[in-house]
Amino acid sequence: MALRLALASAAVCASAAAQPPADLRERLAACAACHGERGEGVDGSIYYPHLAGKPAGYLVEQLQAFRDGHRHYWQMVWLAQYMDDAYIAEIAAYYAAQPPHTRAADVTAAPLPPAVQARAEHLVRHGDAQAGIPACTACHGAALTGLEPAVPALVGLPQDYIVSQIGSWRDGTRRSKAPDCMAGIAAKLAPADIRILAQWLSHQSPGAHDRPAPAGSFVPPLACGDLPHAEVQP
């Protein structure tokens, strides 16, 4: 229900993405300090993720997770605790309609060592069959820009944010709808590979027109609780 509400709201808001109504702008003021005025991110941030252009369904699920005790970052828990589903859907629709984030998070760092680059690209494109880890692209898309309605982009996220989120799945302080595929994947990733993936992803720059892939454009290999095809699994 929440996903349908978010997607409907996104369609309505898409034509007015540049400037939110006055009442919504007041609601978003608290978000802007960490995520940028339009969710584009804040230059120099080593932790806070961008929100602009991410699938509305994903943003709905994350705000609900903070509200409902499935994610535990205290600032977000405090902000989300009194939000109802309609309020959440309106905020998610606004950010989903914004132009996608286009900057790498780590633009000043030195190039990655060749061995790190090679290992990261192998995990991203092919996974690790021996460890039971699928390729990142299998669920997040060939360009890692996500999949509607609920799979986020990975490119351009801050390194520390990626490490912390995978760590949260490993220790159970971040949870998704069951079956929680990311928790299983995070448990199989070696700590060194987590750091390598985070380094590589933070170096990548999304394209100016890189939107999440349309729903149904490819089928992820795992039946996860937050993926559309998982809803029909027995």
What does the pLDDT look like over 74-84, one tens digit per residue? 999 999 999 99
Mapping DSSP to helix (H, G, I), strand (E, B) and coil, where does residue 8 land?
helix
DSSP assignment, residue 142? T
Domain boundary among 75, 99, 123: 99
DSSP 8-state symbol, 135: -
Instruction: Write out the residue range of the structural domain in which residue 169 sits.
Output: 102-234
Confirm or deny that 83 is annotated as ligand binding: no
194 in the same domain as 170? yes
Q: Which of 4-13, 25-34, 35-44, 64-73 has the highest mean pLDDT?
A: 64-73
pLDDT at 3 over 70: no
Query: Is the domain of 67 the same as that of 79?
Result: yes
Helices (H), 69-219: 74-80, 85-96, 114-126, 136-140, 159-171, 181-188, 191-203
Band (181; pLDDT cuts 50, 70, 90): very high
Query: Is 35 within any annotated ligand binding site?
Result: yes
Residue 106: its pLDDT value, please? 67
Residues 57-73, mean pLDDT to the nearest whole number: 96
> What's the chain's average pLDDT?
86
Whether 95 and 106 share a structural domain: no
Which pLDDT score, from 0 to 100, does residue 228 have? 60
pLDDT of residue 30: 92
Position 5 pLDDT exceeds 60 = no
Amino acid at 16: A
Contacts of 196 (CB under 8 A, 6+ apart): 116, 119, 120, 123
Calculate the CA dihedral of residues 71, 178, 2, 135 and round it to 10 degrees.
80
Query: What pTM was computed for the model?
Result: 0.85
Is 136 assigned to a binding site?
yes
| pLDDT tens sequence across 90-126 | 999 999 999 987 776 666 667 889 999 999 999 999 9
The Cα–Cα gap between 194 and 190 comes to 6
- Shared domain for 80 and 174, answered yes or no, is no
31 is in an annotated binding site: yes
Q: Is 156 exposed, middle or buried (0-12, 13-18, 19+ CB in 10 A)?
A: buried
Whether 82 and 109 map to the same domain: the answer is: no
Exposure letters 209-219 (e unless 16+ CB within 10 A, then b): ebbbbebeeee
Domain CATH code at residue 211: 1.10.760.10
Residue where a domain terminates, one of 99, 123, 153: 99
DSSP string for residues in 35-50: H-TTS---TT-SSPPP
Q: Are residues 113 and 176 in the same domain?
A: yes
Domain boundary, last residue among 99, 118, 143: 99
Helix axes 85-96, 2-13, angle to 10 degrees: 50
Is 230 found in the same domain as 114?
Answer: yes
Kindly state whether residues 73 and 161 are assigned to the same domain. Answer: no
| Cα–Cα distance, 87 to 185 (Å, whole number) | 32
143 and 223 together in one domain = yes
Q: For residues 26 and 86, which has the higher predicted lDDT (pLDDT)?
A: 86
Same domain, 178 and 120: yes
Say yes or no: 170 and 204 in one domain.
yes
Is 182 annotated for ligand binding? Answer: yes
Same domain assignment for residues 232 and 211: yes
| Cis peptide upstream of residue 149 (ω within 30 degrees of 0) | yes
Range name among 78-87, 135-144, 207-216 with the lowest pLDDT average: 207-216
Domain count, the chain: 2
Q: Is 122 labelled as part of a ligand binding site?
A: no
pLDDT (mean) for 10-18: 45
As a whole-number percent, the residues of the chain with pLDDT over 90 amount to: 66
